[in-house]
Amino acid sequence: MPRFGNETEQLSGAEYLASIYGTEKDKVNCSFYFKIGACRHGDKCSRTHHKPTFSPTVLLKNFYHNPVLDVRQADAFEKASMRNEEEQRYFDEFYEEVYVELERKYGTVDELNVCENIGEHMIGNVYVKFAREEDAEKAVKDLENRWFNGEAIYPELSPVTDFRESRCRQYDLTSCNKGGFCNFMHLKQVSEPMLRRLQRNRRTWQRSERFDNYAREYNRNRDDGRDFDDRGGRGGGGGRRDRYGQDRDYDRGDRRRDRY
């Protein structure tokens, strides 16, 4: 028989806790840490920060340094939302360098987001969402031992996977009345020319990487005394046709012998 009442009243204890996990109704787990991977109270927060053991997203804490912003100045609040050609050019170059390095070294990057907030727990935070969790894990382990611009990198896995829940909607639409101290993400925008350039270069280096992988596989099989068939796969000792349609054999020294 159907029962009336609130949906949450019909849930078991475990189901109810799961339904409110990471929301403001959750009195145990920190909703801000769940949504943005950072909390203004830090380790002193009265709620629990569950750091993930696996995630596709890596947080590089306080990684981007705005060259025109000094949070010690009284006008930092206004400067956080300023746009000028010099700062945009600096950010575009930073974005390209980081994106290319991470994509080519660790794996496909789905999103690269940089915070414009000036709160201590969010300033300069860079969120990198990889296509695979394995790539994110590899990046964290490797970046722990690396430096950037003379400063150590502080990477960690982040619980953030859906940035729609992390972004400040007011900031995206117009402007946020809380300014740079807002506790939701104010994300910096890379310029359109740089986006097009990255997309174009990405296709180029992906083609180059596929070619390099093929070349490595070919050389490895050649050294093992095995040959590729006409389609580029491993052949069972078969030959390959030359551009004139003649059958040719490849011996282990990669010397051709005509069958005729």
Looking at residue 203, its pLDDT comes to 75
How does 127-139 read in b/e, with b if 16+ C-beta sit within 10 Å? bbbbeeeebbbbb
Is residue 90 over pLDDT 70? yes
Looking at residue 35, its pLDDT comes to 86
Looking at residue 46, its pLDDT comes to 83
Work out the pLDDT band at 59, boundaries 50, 70, 90. Answer: very high
pLDDT digits (tens, 9 = 90+) for 170-225: 998 888 988 888 989 999 999 999 989 888 887 776 666 665 555 566 556 655 55
The least confident of 38-42, 59-63, 68-72, 247-251 is: 247-251
Is residue 122 over pLDDT 90? yes
Looking at residue 235, its pLDDT comes to 47
Span 227-248, mean pLDDT? 45
98: nearest Cα among 81, 80, 111: 111
Greater confidence (259 vs 185) lies with: 185
Is residue 41 over pLDDT 70? yes
> Which sign does the torsion angle of CA 191, 196, 199, 200 carry?
negative
> Helical H runs in the chain?
13-20, 31-36, 76-79, 85-106, 133-143, 169-173, 192-223
- Give the whole-angstrom CA distance, residue 42 versus residue 47: 10
Greater confidence (52 vs 258) lies with: 52
C-beta separation of 107 from 118 below 8 A: no
Is residue 53 over pLDDT 50? yes
Is residue 36 over pLDDT 80? yes
Looking at residue 237, its pLDDT comes to 46
Give the global pTM.
0.67
C-beta separation of 58 from 139 below 8 A: yes
164: nearest Cα among 53, 36, 22: 36
Span 150-155, mean pLDDT? 93
Work out the pLDDT band at 23, boundaries 50, 70, 90. Answer: low
C-beta separation of 186 from 166 below 8 A: no
> Helical H runs in 144-182?
169-173
Is residue 255 over pLDDT 80? no
Looking at residue 10, its pLDDT comes to 52
Domains and CATH numbers, the chain: 1-49 (no CATH), 51-190 (3.30.70.330)
The least confident of 116-125, 134-143, 237-246 is: 237-246
Work out the pLDDT band at 136, boundaries 50, 70, 90. Answer: very high
